Amino acid sequence: MPWHRKHLLTIEELSRAEIEQLLATAGAFRRILDRKVKKVPALRGKTIVNLFLEPSTRTRISFEMAAKLLSADTISFDAAASSTTKGETLRDTAQNIQALNADMIVLRHSASGSPLYLSRVLGIPVINAGDGAHEHPTQALLDVFTMREKLGDLKGRKIVILGDILFSRVARSNIHALTKLGANVTIVGPSTLVPRWFEALGVKVSHNLRSALEDADVVMLLRIQHERQASGHFPSVGEYTGMFGLNKTRAEWIKPDAIIMHPGPINRGVEIDSDLADSPRSVILQQVTNGIAVRMAALYLCAGGQPEHVLAPVE
Ligand code: CP
């Protein structure tokens, strides 16, 4: 099946087949990452602008690495030194970047829906690198890619997402991806951060950590998104950790071969005990590496590449 999308805006809008295409393409690029020479000429001559108007370490560097490995030229936008500080709008900024001959924009923004908005006013592909509390599609794809690498087929697997679900774009994108792939998703945390209405997305809502963790194949931890919370959703960080932080005792409630994931940045000693973050059960850094392959796939397909051209075995 050919790839038709010009933009990658949400996981919600993707079909299961499209998710599979992205994952299969990422798989081919992941194998390339293990070669001595990792660079491929797929996007030679293209210029990709990373328009990040919110802080980022992993996603920005990962997109930049992905673009370079595809032989594209990349420019990373420095928000603090840009004319956005003089009042220039997102639309004007992006239209000027397009007028400067960019071939694609990767956008991170605090406003939900901003990538969709740009996709309607620009003629070039827009990739969502995280928009407010809405979606973070490439994060979910790299998470699912890593789960499959460790567990194989996700159908019927119990995936627990623990933490600040309400303000998490990572949770929303993962919920859409995992339910489309047939996994059983449980979200757990304080009732103020894990409201019942998430059940409408096809997940189980729990406020009881022990019962949620029992039989889990994957525990995905999320940090508290202080930057998006207008008021206190729990009494204190210490009390949150006391009730919902993953520590050694609680990790014994999950299966011995279950994996621990986190999209980063991690807050050691808050949502996860430092020893657990560094333990063999943690795949946190493997998630980061797989992110390069997933972002190579997203850039390649949205630039007009076709999955079958990279799915052939590479030498
Ligand atoms: N996971 C993630 O989006 O990390 P960054 O905010 O560092 O990009």
DSSP string, 128-189: EEEETTTB-HHHHHHHHHHHHHHHS--TT-EEEEES--TT-HHHHHHHHHHHHTT-EEEEES
Query: Which residue out of 59, 110, 131, 139 has the highest number of ligand 1 atoms within 8 Å of its CB and is therefore the one to mutate?
Result: 59
Q: Is the CB of 263 under 6 A from ligand 1?
A: yes
Mean pLDDT of 68-82: 93
Average pLDDT over residues 278-289: 97
The CB of 139 under 6 Å from ligand 1? The reply is yes
> Ligand 1 centre from 34 Cα, in Å?
23
Residue 219 — φ and ψ, nearest 5°? -120, 115
Instruction: Answer whether 58 contacts ligand 1 (Cβ < 6 A).
Output: yes
Mean pLDDT score across all residues of the chain: 94
> For residues 222 and 199, what is the distance between their CA atoms, to the nearest angstrom?
19
Q: Quote the ligand 1 centre to 55 CA distance (angstroms).
A: 8
- Helices 90-99, 114-121: crossing angle, 10 deg rounding: 50
User: Does the global pTM surpass 0.85?
Assistant: yes
What number is the average pLDDT over the span 88-96? 97
pLDDT of 163 above 50: yes
What is the separation of C-alpha 89 from the centre of its chain, rounded to a whole number of angstroms?
26
Is the distance from the beta carbon of residue 264 to the nearest atom of ligand 1 less than 6 Å?
yes
Average pLDDT on 198-222 reads: 97
Categorize the per-residue pLDDT at 231 as very low, low, confident or very high, splitting at 50, 70 and 90.
low
Is the predicted pLDDT of residue 10 greater than 70, yes or no? yes
Split at pLDDT 50, 70, 90, the class of 313 is very low
Ligand 1 centre and the CA of 46: distance in Å?
Answer: 25
Question: pLDDT band at 180, cuts 50/70/90?
Answer: very high
Looking at residue 312, what is its pLDDT? Answer: 56
Model confidence at 246: pLDDT above 60: yes
Q: Token digits for 109? A: 């923004």
Q: Which pLDDT score is estimated for 315?
A: 44
Cβ of 130 below 6 Å from ligand 1: yes
CB of 225 closer than 6 angstroms to any ligand 1 atom = no
Is residue 53 predicted with pLDDT exceeding 70? yes
Q: Would you say the CB of residue 91 lies under 6 angstroms from ligand 1?
A: no
